[in-house]
Amino acid sequence: MRWIDEFRAFILRGNVIDLAVAVVIGAAFTAIVNSLVADLITPLIAAIFGKPDFSDLKFEINGSIFRYGNFINALISFLIIAAVLFFLVVKPLNALMARMGRGEKTETPSRDCPYCMSAIPVTATKCAYCTSEVEPVPPPPDAPAGAPAA
């Protein structure tokens, strides 16, 4: 395969296209959040505390200028983006995963394979590692029907 064909296959792969779309959407979302901070939240805070623009906040030491107001604006933007991602992406995804039962895994009782000493389920009849036939461990006589062996 020529290198141009390989490059085309790489670019047209689904995850590359998805990543490109995510970057563009993320950039647009960042512009919206920055506008929200600069045009709505900062003036609201300024109305409360009396400072109209954080980006003008600065101090000087030995001729070096420290613009901490821009940092405050960036920090507010970051916290808003993190909150939006948490409440609109992470929380719903966690709830969906919990409904699907993919959160916590239950531990299956296991025993060692007598041939390769790998851990296998107690009800296994064949070792997944060495493919040897093994006898399943019978459940205890007082165990309920369908319960795994101890």
pLDDT tens, residue by residue, 114-147: 989 889 988 889 998 898 899 887 766 675 655 5
The two three-digit tokens of residue 68, written as one number: 């901490």
DSSP run (H or E) holding 65: strand 64-66
- Give the rounded distance of the alpha carbon of 31 from its chain centre: 23
Q: What is the residue-averaged pLDDT of the chain?
A: 80
- Distance separating alpha carbons of residues 45 and 74, to the nearest angstrom: 15
pLDDT of residue 62: 92
DSSP letters spanning 23-53: HHHHHHHHHHHHHHIIIIIHHHHHHHHS-S-
pLDDT of residue 54: 72
- Distance separating alpha carbons of residues 90 and 3, to the nearest angstrom: 39
Q: pLDDT confidence of 14, banded at 50, 70, 90?
A: low
Instruction: State pTM to two decimals.
Output: 0.46
Per-residue pLDDT reduced to its tens digit, 114-123: 989 889 988 8
**Which residues fall within 8 angstroms of residue 56, CB to CB, at 6 or more apart?**
69
The two three-digit tokens of residue 70, written as one number: 């821009």
Per-residue pLDDT reduced to its tens digit, 92-107: 888 888 887 765 566 7
pLDDT of residue 144: 61
> Which neighbouring-strand residues pair with 110?
121
- Distance separating alpha carbons of residues 126 and 128, to the nearest angstrom: 6
